[in-house]
């Protein structure tokens, strides 16, 4: 039994999000915890300050908007519970108020897997792509994280991004242990030939490990920039999943530069599994 934590922006709940959460929890035969994250820092940032040009009138508008948001969240909670009953989804419910990224990272400490959409955002005006929230959670998460698209398909193939690093192998092992049911699916190891090194590092040991779990394994080598090569390989694929290791950590542990990882998150429409050593 696995504990699966699904993160939702409490103010922007969409019923179709539940389909992905239900699919993953059933695949893992896990217990689902749905976390509604509410950003309580917004109104504080707009406290009246004449030096910054923020008037009491503007602040009053912010407070009114905040009240409308809280009312919307109450309606979303009702909608969530009704939809889960209709879809026969058994779940625990957490309503976390505070700084969303910090709350999400704390939840990850007590989870086997965290799931979230790549566009979840708590920005007041505009945000980056991937969002700042997603990047902060990926960098600080204390469990594996699964980034999912809106319209996720049944997973029929697993891709392991591998470059010989400890972090890439750690992600492979974590995924294999967590998603043991997928050992019956086709598995493809994607080696990124970095630094003009065409030979896959520790290939014998890697094959020995994977052969103990997977029935069908393929090994391929890609040249060029990692993000571009992976995008071309998985372009328009929605029935697969790919693993990466160590987003946003030190140069020694991460799979590749954060900017390239951001390109992957932004441009791939497949589920992405990321974890840290």
Q: Thinking of the domain 3-148, which architecture would CATH place it in?
A: 3-Layer(aba) Sandwich (3.40)
Query: 266 Cβ partners below 8 Å, 6+ apart?
Result: 118, 129, 130
Q: Quick one: pLDDT at residue 83?
A: 97
Q: Which residues are bridge partners to 93 per DSSP?
A: 34
CA trace torsion 233, 260, 222, 269 (10° rounding): -10
pLDDT per residue, tens digit, the chain (277 aa), is 899 999 999 999 999 999 999 999 999 999 999 999 998 775 544 444 444 555 555 555 655 567 888 899 999 999 999 999 999 999 999 999 999 999 999 999 999 999 999 889 887 655 677 888 999 999 999 999 999 998 889 999 999 999 888 889 999 999 999 999 999 999 999 998 766 778 899 999 999 999 999 999 999 998 888 888 898 999 888 899 999 987 755 443 444 566 677 888 888 889 999 998 8
Q: Do residues 114 and 37 lie in contact, with contact meaning Cβ atoms separated by under 8 Å? A: no
Q: Quick one: pLDDT at residue 143?
A: 97
Q: Which residues are bridge partners to 244 per DSSP?
A: 274
Half-sphere exposure of 55 (CA within 13 A, CB side): 3
Distance CA 151, CA 270 (A): 9
Q: Do domains 3-148 and 157-275 have the same CATH topology?
A: yes
Q: Quick one: pLDDT at residue 251?
A: 46
Half-sphere exposure of 269 (CA within 13 A, CB side): 10
Q: Quick one: pLDDT at residue 51?
A: 42
Which homologous superfamily does the CATH classification assign to the domain defined by 157-275?
A: HUPs (3.40.50.620)
Quote the strand ranges of 44-193, DSSP E: 91-98, 113-117, 145-148, 157-162, 186-192
Q: Quick one: pLDDT at residue 218?
A: 96
Domain boundaries along the sequence of the chain: 3-148, 157-275
Tokens for 106, please give them. 């704390």
**CA distance between the termini of the chain:** 22
């Amino acid at each position: 039994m696995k504990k699966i934590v699904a993160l939702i922006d409490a103010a922007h709940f969409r019923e179709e999000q539940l389909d992905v959460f239900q699919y993953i929890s059933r695949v893992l035969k896990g217990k689902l915890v749905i976390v509604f994250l509410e950003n309580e820092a917004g109104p504080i940032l707009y406290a009246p300050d004449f030096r910054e040009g923020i008037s009491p009138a503007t602040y009053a508008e912010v407070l009114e908007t905040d009240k409308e948001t809280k009312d919307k969240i109450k309606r979303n909670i009702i909608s969530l519970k009704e939809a889960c009953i209709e879809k026969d989804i058994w779940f625990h419910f957490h309503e976390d108020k505070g700084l969303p990224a910090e709350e999400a990272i704390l939840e990850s400490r007590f989870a086997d897997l965290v799931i979230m959409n790549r566009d979840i955002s708590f920005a007041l005006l505009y945000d980056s792509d991937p969002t700042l929230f997603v990047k902060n959670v990926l960098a600080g998460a204390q469990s594996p994280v699964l980034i999912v698209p809106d319209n996720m398909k049944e997973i029929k193939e697993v891709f392991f991004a591998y470059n010989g690093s400890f972090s890439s192998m750690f992600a492979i092992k974590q995924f294999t242990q967590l998603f043991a049911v997928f050992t019956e699916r086709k598995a493809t190891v994607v080696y990124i030939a970095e630094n003009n090194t065409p030979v896959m590092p520790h290939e014998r040991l890697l094959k020995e490990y994977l052969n103990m779990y997977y029935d069908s394994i393929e090994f391929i080598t890609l040249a060029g920039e990692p993000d571009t090569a992976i995008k071309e390989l998985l372009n328009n694929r929605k029935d697969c999943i790919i693993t990466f290791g160590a987003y946003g950590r030190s140069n020694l542990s991460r799979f590749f530069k954060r900017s390239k990882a951001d390109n992957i998150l932004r441009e791939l429409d497949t589920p992405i599994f990321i974890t840290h050593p």
